[in-house]
Amino acid sequence: MLVEAGLERVSDGLHTEPELTRGRSYKLAVACAGKGKITLSIALKDPIRRTMECDGVPLRQRLTASAAKVRIDTEGMPGSTGMVAWRLDKADK
């Protein structure tokens, strides 16, 4: 079941704080299309930080909400251009 999705410019970045059910599992997919790289950050109890190529290949991450709100951000590395798309779904039990 879809929770939230969107599309942003690499230069603007993705900055969202969806309201989640604590302890529930979710599936996050993030893809960057263009040139260069972005950094994906997910503020959980054990924070996640990944560098992604802007090659259109989605990064999929399963996460469990440790709080009612989880901060998800991307930041383009110098010289990077393109678009960042994301989708957050509730995971099947």
What mean pLDDT do residues 62-74 have? 89
Confidence of residue 46 (pLDDT cuts 50, 70, 90): confident
Question: If you ran DSSP here, which 8-state letter would residue 79 be given?
Answer: T
Closest CA to 82 of 15, 7, 4, 6: 7
Closest CA to 54 of 25, 83, 26: 83
Instruction: Give me the domains of the chain, ranges plus CATH numbers.
Output: 2-90 (2.60.120.680)
pLDDT at 51: 98
pLDDT tens for 7-30 read 999 999 999 999 999 999 999 999
CB neighbours (10 Å) of residue 38? 24
From start to end of 15-80, where are the E strands? Answer: 15-16, 25-43, 48-55, 59-64, 71-76
Confidence of residue 44 (pLDDT cuts 50, 70, 90): confident
Lowest-pLDDT range of 12-16, 43-47, 57-61, 76-80? 43-47
| Single-letter amino acid, residue 53 | E
**pTM for the structure as a whole:** 0.91
| pLDDT at position 61 over 80 | yes
